[in-house]
Chains A and B, each alone.
Chain A
Amino acid sequence: MEDAGTAPGALTARAAGLVACTQCGRVHPLGTPQCRRCGSDLASRDDTSLQRVWAWLFAGMIAYVPANLSPMLLTSTFGRTRENTIIGGVFELFDHGSYGVALVIFLASVVVPIGKFIAIAYLALSVRSRGLARGHARQRLYEVVEFIGRWSMIDVFVVAILSALVQLDFIATVKPGVAAASFALSVAFTMLSAQAFDPRLIWDSYEVEET
């Protein structure tokens, strides 16, 4: 099990001339259009998977640019209006001594999105050239990307809550900025990109060795 990518004697559904359902695990003869057990559409390998991964990934990267350049939050306190970008908000929290929260926002809004861009691009590229990293390492990377993507939405929700709550006329008002919309789009596009990736592609490259 240490390097199961080359585990001896494992037979895949595709190599057996069968098609498996990725939703419920049921196995069918090749060419069956829909799963008998759960009704999902079947495809031995999704040929368009990588195209869709790249398309959503680029859309996500493009939306991430205005998300960082334009203001996320417009705060007016005692008549003065300040505009905060994502990074600006992190610095402000840091200055106030809220290190923990600053770290959460920095991770969710900067480290995770950029890390996801790199990770998805790496996974999509590594499918072509086998042996870049072991199957298990890439599999783990894919699971992390799938799990963590949604947590980037934190900052959008923070903006929504602050804008709804902080409406104290002269003392303080908070309004959402343009970046909230483009950041939300960027997160959604990257999630779609990760979902379009077919993890079976990670393991396919080992199959040639085995047979």
Chain B
Amino acid sequence: MSSATPTLRETQKRMAELLMKPWPAGGPKREAARLIRPNDRLTSLERLAIYSRSYWARVLDSLRDDFPGLMTILGSEAFDRMATAYLVECPSQSFTLRDLGSRLPEWLAKHPRYAGQQKRLALDMARLEWAHIEAFDGLAEKTLDPEDLLRLTTSLRAGVQPYVSLLDLHYPVDELRVKLKAAPEDAGAASNAVLEKRARKVARFRGLKPQSMFVAVHRVDMIVYYRRLAREEYRILQGLRSGKPIAKAIGDAFFESSVGADQIPDLLRTWFAAWATFGWLTDKRKKAKRSKSK
């Protein structure tokens, strides 16, 4: 092969660079002509454009599917501008499109100009919707046995299921997302009535008032749910997730809390019972034993 002939790596790098960035007006004619043969119907650029359109349709559709709430808040045009900027900076690094939006909440927080007029609302929705994906097919570890729960001691270390996301939010985006899901969005079923209904919902979202809240995004019987948490409940779960023993997690959670000391035992009983029912708690003690024996 002569030195002027591009290697496989060079060919692939050139083409990928052309596909994964939006084109300037007129398109990259010269670059396309260097890479692609024309035929009697299509120029090099037109042939390359088939792949460019396909790339952007695929990745934008994937983000639209995964972040319908964020798209409703931003509006579809602003959403596409935001998603395009995100994908230029954070192209897929995974073999699966499932992970395409994994960096979107963090990226959006760093690029608030793409978050629309209600930035905190948009950021909350992005976090909730990524948590939804994690809850759908995230890893489930072995739950604490009922016997372990009966013998709970303050020194026990318990973890929280990896598929459960714990969110501190500024807006009730959980309600919003549920309402959105109830609104038909299938383009195939689009009618004036449906579009009007969606527009009314969007208008209502814009008037949404801020509300500090804590939400766990989890799954039960393979269905994703949002469960609101009390502040102290959220703090205990965060503490357990970070590796604190139960006593320390509880102590820290109620530090400077307005909850009366006499209420705490009842609250703990209720919360631990709920977490056990949902299978949220995992056995960190056994894991620690295993890792020690290695």
A joins B in a complex: no
Question: Could you tell me which B residues sit within 8 Å of A by CB distance?
Answer: none
